[in-house]
A = this chain, B = another copy of it.
Amino acid sequence: MTDTTTDRPVDTSATGTLVTSWLAHFERALTAGDIDAATALFVDDCYWRDLVAFTWNIVTVEGAEGLRQMLGQTLDRVQPSGFGLADELGEAGGPTEAWIKFETSVGRGIGHLRLRDGKAWTLLTTLNELKGHEEPKRDRRPKGTEHGAVPNRQTWLEQRRREAEELGHVTQPYVVVVGGGQGGIALGARLRQLGVPPIIVDRNPRPGDAWRKRYKSLTLHDPVWYDHLPYIDFPPNWPVFSPKDKIADWLEMYTRVMELNYWDSTECKKASYDEAVKEWTVVVERDGVEMTLRPKQLVLATGMSGKPNLPKLQGMDVFKGEQHHSSKHPGPDAYRGKKAVVIGSNNSAHDICAALWEVGADVTMVQRSSTHVARSDSLMELGLGSLYSESAVASGMTTWKADLTFASIPYRILHTFQIPVYNAIRERDADFYARLEKSGFMLDYGEDDSGLFMKYLRRGSGYYIDVGASELVAKGDIKLESGVDVVRLTENAVVLSNGKTLPADLVVYATGYGSMNGWAADLISREVAAKVGKCWGLGSDTAKDPGPWEGELRNMWKPTQQEALWFHGGNLHQSRHYSSYLALQLKARMEGIPTPVYGLQRVHHLS
């Protein structure tokens, strides 16, 4: 991702005048209920992205008609007011951009505005806090002790213990979060701060185990500045790329110090929603004992890359070697000197191939379709540098501001911001790409050359962030079979569509993951999974992301067709940022604040 606007000269007074004037007109129109006047303040090809502030949804509306419809259904209730510059966020990119603040009938918001020819081109509105339910932080932080004399005082420890003992037994959580990875943990922290302490259930014995159990060479592919959790930043000595066991330890300590009610060794077996009582029945097995929870809201935070796709290949039953999905791959140590075939050519496939090669395995990658590759250094510098880097931090770019800046670009036009970045990367790394293609590796840069992050948003797959494996492919150290498919397995080999037979002691299926609503099918029912439909993807009408255009990621962090069912996930950046909006939606419902949803996700695809 990038922020192409930071190079322009800044003229604060001009920003002030131009934007303030626009905001005054905008507020006057909204206050008067004059939707036409409000719409007339936008250019024709305008975008208004709203994160929960106006719509109780995550929605981008486009053009005059989109604005008119949205305002028509929300304006009376929202009663927006108090528009002004958000000084706490400092300056935006130039005279036609600004950080703004505003209020609604129930909350306070932060937004971002881009003007073109004096009219609004892009507008972002986000709900920042609910009035009367502000988080107890900074000057609202708890005192920690009640001064004075308090007969039969309970200590912090006694209160925490009592809460933990009673929750799920004497008292019911308002929310159950299934899945205690980074997503569930970040959301759990935000909910606790809002006074909506959930129970987070996770099948593993310890927080962080979802990372610990992955292949041993795994490190985060995103750099540290992109990965902070809410409330506690990684320290300044934290590695750029977190090793998996180190991030696992961080998640474990975070769970503890943020006082999360985290039920480890707990498997969610079954969930069903009672539409009449408006309550979930969630059956879990905790340390082997089955029990039932009755929350009002259920969040599946089982990972947008959570449910493995295992291909059904002829001969899998007769293959006598070891075979597993990449998510179950333990790392290379047991395969020293063995013959390994890795099916797939995305991140996991590359990581696993490289680690196997490093211990001296004979390893072949089977590339079935083209892959986008971007070198880590180039991506960090050209893709993330302006928002998430040491130099961004040094120039005053906070994580919050970076997240909001990124969120301010509507998905519809995000590719136009991305294409120049990847063109620059292609130029910079031309020799590298030439070497790689010479080996037979099928490269792409996304269908519209918009690169890695758009692929991630559209399909969650199809790329490798190169940290070294591509050179091994280019040199032939990792053997490559490309443009082929697997026909079948024999007792000791993989047979390819080009007629070759690859002897194999190990087959790794680095074949990706299914849509998150697959979890809903498993836990709730096929009917609910179908009712909710596919998760993730934008409807870009590119490979694995069929149209129509949705405007936002399907079903993520927002209301779904199944009342009281929510999906949470994504990378650490997304978990951090969007957990804020999901938490506010849940808090509002708990407090009985009306939350009429504008533009509820419609279902165009089942998975």
User: Which residues of A come within 8 Å of B, CB atoms?
Assistant: 135-139, 141-145, 147-153, 155-158, 160, 193, 216-217, 219-220, 224, 231-233, 235-243, 245-246, 249-250, 252-254, 256-258, 331, 354-355, 357-360, 376-377, 390-391, 393-394, 467-469, 471-472, 477
The answer to whether A147 touches B239, judged by C-beta atoms less than 8 angstroms apart, is no
A355 in complex: contacting residue of B135, B153, B216, B477, CB < 8 Å? B153
The answer to whether B144 touches A219, judged by C-beta atoms less than 8 angstroms apart, is yes
A390 in complex: contacting residue of B139, B151, B231, CB < 8 Å? B139
- Provide the residues of chain B in CB contact with A355, threshold 8 Å: 153
Residue of B nearest to A359 (CB): B152
Residue of B nearest to A242 (CB): B144
Q: Which 3 A-B pairs have the closest CB atoms?
A: A144-B239, A253-B253, A156-B243
* A142-B239 contact given A354-B149, A471-B148, CB 8 Å threshold: yes
Instruction: Give the docked Cα–Cα distance between A153 and B216 (Å).
Output: 10
Instruction: Give the docked Cα–Cα distance between A394 and B137 (Å).
Output: 13
Minimum CB–CB distance from A398 to chain B (whole Å) comes to 13
Residue of B nearest to A161 (CB): B245
Instruction: Give the docked Cα–Cα distance between A189 and B331 (Å).
Output: 31
* A141-B237 contact given A217-B153, A243-B156, CB 8 Å threshold: yes
The answer to whether B376 touches A239, judged by C-beta atoms less than 8 angstroms apart, is no
- Provide the residues of chain B in CB contact with A150, threshold 8 Å: 358, 468
A147 in complex: contacting residue of B138, B233, B358, B468, CB < 8 Å? B468
Instruction: Give the docked Cα–Cα distance between A233 and B151 (Å).
Output: 33
Q: Can you sample 12 A-B contacts with CB below 8 Å?
A: A143-B241, A144-B220, A144-B241, A145-B467, A147-B467, A151-B360, A153-B355, A153-B358, A156-B243, A246-B257, A249-B257, A250-B257
The answer to whether B136 touches A237, judged by C-beta atoms less than 8 angstroms apart, is yes
Minimum CB–CB distance from A605 to chain B (whole Å) comes to 37
The answer to whether B231 touches A235, judged by C-beta atoms less than 8 angstroms apart, is yes
Minimum CB–CB distance from A139 to chain B (whole Å) comes to 5
A149 in complex: contacting residue of B143, B250, B358, CB < 8 Å? B358
Instruction: Give the docked Cα–Cα distance between A136 and B390 (Å).
Output: 13
Copies of the chain in the assembly? 2
Instruction: Give the docked Cα–Cα distance between A136 and B240 (Å).
Output: 11
Instruction: Give the docked Cα–Cα distance between A225 and B243 (Å).
Output: 31
A243 in complex: contacting residue of B144, B193, B237, CB < 8 Å? B144
Instruction: Give the docked Cα–Cα distance between A36 and B358 (Å).
Output: 65
Instruction: Give the docked Cα–Cα distance between A101 and B358 (Å).
Output: 47
Minimum CB–CB distance from A269 to chain B (whole Å) comes to 31
The answer to whether A145 touches B253, judged by C-beta atoms less than 8 angstroms apart, is no
- Provide the residues of chain B in CB contact with A155, threshold 8 Å: 216-217, 243, 245, 331
The answer to whether A138 touches B236, judged by C-beta atoms less than 8 angstroms apart, is yes
Instruction: Give the docked Cα–Cα distance between A219 and B150 (Å).
Output: 15
- Provide the residues of chain B in CB contact with A354, threshold 8 Å: 149
The answer to whether A241 touches B145, judged by C-beta atoms less than 8 angstroms apart, is yes
Instruction: Give the docked Cα–Cα distance between A157 and B359 (Å).
Output: 17
The answer to whether B219 touches A145, judged by C-beta atoms less than 8 angstroms apart, is yes
* A240-B137 contact given A147-B468, A355-B153, A472-B149, CB 8 Å threshold: no
Instruction: Give the docked Cα–Cα distance between A390 and B156 (Å).
Output: 23
Q: Which of A193, A249, A377, A391 has the most CB of B within 10 A?
A: A249
- Provide the residues of chain B in CB contact with A256, threshold 8 Å: 249, 252-253
The answer to whether A240 touches B141, judged by C-beta atoms less than 8 angstroms apart, is yes
Minimum CB–CB distance from A142 to chain B (whole Å) comes to 5
Residue of B nearest to A218 (CB): B155
Instruction: Give the docked Cα–Cα distance between A250 and B355 (Å).
Output: 35
The answer to whether B137 touches A237, judged by C-beta atoms less than 8 angstroms apart, is yes
- Provide the residues of chain B in CB contact with A376, threshold 8 Å: 147
Minimum CB–CB distance from A337 to chain B (whole Å) comes to 13
The answer to whether B357 touches A149, judged by C-beta atoms less than 8 angstroms apart, is yes
Residue of B nearest to A234 (CB): B232
Instruction: Give the docked Cα–Cα distance between A152 and B333 (Å).
Output: 9
Minimum CB–CB distance from A220 to chain B (whole Å) comes to 8
